[in-house]
Structure 1
Amino acid sequence: MNLALLLLIGGLVGWVASLIALEDDRHIILFNVGTGMSGALLTGLMASTLIDGASNLRSGLSIATLSLVPLGSAMMVMLITFLQRCAAR
């Protein structure tokens, strides 16, 4: 359940990032959703380990972890988008 929640939050953040950037290409939208999901997973694992002391996601997610997941997901989408634009030049 925790993994599904992290993937849902990350997917929503990636989708919202595509809306904000006014992206119409389906490939870019799917890429942002996937990047948001991976950022949410990484942030969720790191935050649950550092904040809750749990080494896996089975023990549950705290409010602090859930509040950091959208931030980490958005940062991952911004970083990947920035790197893609720098590589295109």
Structure 2
Amino acid sequence: MNLIIMLIVGGILGWLASIVMRTDGQQGMFLNVVVGVIGAMLAGFLLTPFLGGAPITTGAFDIKSLFVSFLGAVVLLAIVNLVRRGSIR
């Protein structure tokens, strides 16, 4: 059950990050889920120790962990855009 919730939340966070980074038209639902989940893992390893709280991948769904996971998804999309296009946008 925790995996299903993480996939749903990852999809929503990936979708919101793609709207912020203006890549929503280029991604489908599957890529939004992938970006959200990988961004959450990236944030869990890199940002959570600095900002505190528990990573969303451990099942903590509070506002701080959701925000940090969203930041991780935005950073992931910025890195992908930088490699693909040479600019963050």
Residue 78 of structure 1 aligns with which residue? 78
Separation in 2, partners of 1:69, 1:83: 21
The 5 A counterparts of 1:2-41 are 3-16=3-16, 17=18, 20-21=22-23, 23=25, 28-29=27-28, 30-41=30-41
State the shift of 1:64 in Å. Answer: 2.4
Q: Looking at both structures, which has the greater relative contact order when contacts are Cα pairs under 8 Å and sequence separation is at least 6?
A: 1
- Check conservation: 1:35, 1:73, Cα contact below 8 A: yes
Where does the alignment leave 5 or more consecutive residues of structure 2 unmatched? none
RMSD: 3.3
Amino acid at match of 1:9: V
Where does the alignment leave 5 or more consecutive residues of structure 1 unmatched? none
- Check conservation: 1:14, 1:33, Cα contact below 8 A: yes
* TM, length-normalised to structure 2: 0.55
- Check conservation: 2:11, 2:33, Cα contact below 8 A: yes
Amino acid at match of 1:21: T
Separation in 1, partners of 2:40, 2:5: 9
- Check conservation: 1:14, 1:32, Cα contact below 8 A: yes
Q: Deviations over 1:21-74 (max 9, x none)?
A: 352x5xx32334312321112213552xx22478x82xx525422321111112
- Determine what percentage of the aligned residue pairs are the same residue: 25
Give the total of aligned pairs: 77
